[in-house]
Structure 1
Amino acid sequence: MTDYTGDVTPGGPADVRELDQLTIAKMAVDEKMANNAYLLTCRTTDEKLLIDAADDAPALLSLVNGSLSAVVTTHQHWDHHRALADVVAATDAPVHAGAPDADAITEQTGVQIARRLEHGDEVRVGEVSLSVIAIAGHTPGSVALLYADPSGHPHLFTGDSLFPGGPGRTIEAEDFDSIMADLQTKVFDRLPDETWFYPGHGNDSTLGAERDSVPGWLERRW
């Protein structure tokens, strides 16, 4: 395994983590929003999956450097799919997104959603399987992707649903209740402390580093 930190800056190089079966490349795009995009590559077949074509299509296409089996858009917010149309036009990759967000993504980008993801679905890249975790609250159709590495700890791509320091932003009280309920029952109650998670902006963290803070998040309600 490479010495991966997840510390990337817009305009800078990707940080690459090599697992036994999967390579994870993290790239930051857009100096203002500092969105993260993740390229997952099956080390057996070289098939590639992109999580969030957030911005800067030329940089993302350079990272892909070839064919792309699919793009997963974690949620409908504009800053996570600004390069989606250009990436799809260049690669003809099908787009997957959470079912409740799919129509909004198409309306904003003009890109049709090939697969509407539901909680518990499986997304494959080559011989690697990722499980879909639906986390409603930041948006109705936000999804996370879980890779249960058989040779190590789990890896969780959370979009804007979970960050170091708290859940993703919510507006209404019921949205906060929803995101926290899903994070508790589907993530913290299910996955071990060593689970490494990769958010839609900023640095990574582990569930163990955040777990003791959950009661405080519930009390402050953000």
Structure 2
Amino acid sequence: MHRTPLSPPPTAPISFAAACLRAVCYILLVAAFLQGIYYEALYLPARRSFAELGFTELCQSAVLSASALLLWTPSVRRELPTVSLLMLALIVASLIREQDYYLDRHLFDGAWQTLVTLVLLPCLTLALWRRRRFLDEFVAYGNSFSFGLFAAGFLVTYVFSRLYGRSAMWMAILEEHYLRTFKEAAEEITELLGYSLLLIAVIELVLLTRRWQQARALP
């Protein structure tokens, strides 16, 4: 059956001044996160193990929640409904995973795995069913700055942080000086960096879809 591809998005360039302003904001955001981690280690010795109620863990949940809310922005859902749905599924699944301690303790062991499956399976099924639409949307999104940031955030969070936080590697590096705190700090801080990149990518996506709509509205 012949399908009609989506119309390509209009050109929506970013001015140099706007790019510089956003770069400054993102630098300040990342710097604020790291300063918070520093204060957590300095003034909250009970949280130095990066426990569930520490700044780092709470910040991870806050960043993921903000990303999920931004993906519900009308312009995003209107312009890239299928792509944004998959992004939202990944973000929500990550947010659920960050609550594993509470879910396993207050619901049942393995609760977070069940909830993640209930989130991912329907979204993946819908994306597969609408795969032609997804491919058309991806053509529009794949060459954007937002996609590059999202891909980087995905690699940092789900690949690099997992490998970087391996106990065996830190035992090999620190030898007899090994403490689990080093391993926890390396993994959790790197994970927060990855989540921050995902948040910035979603912010850029919101701005991109709004520029598309503004460009279409021009005579």
Bigger RCO (CA 8 Å, 6+ sep): 2
TM-score by length of 2: 0.28
TM-score by length of 1: 0.28
- Structure holding more helix per residue: 2
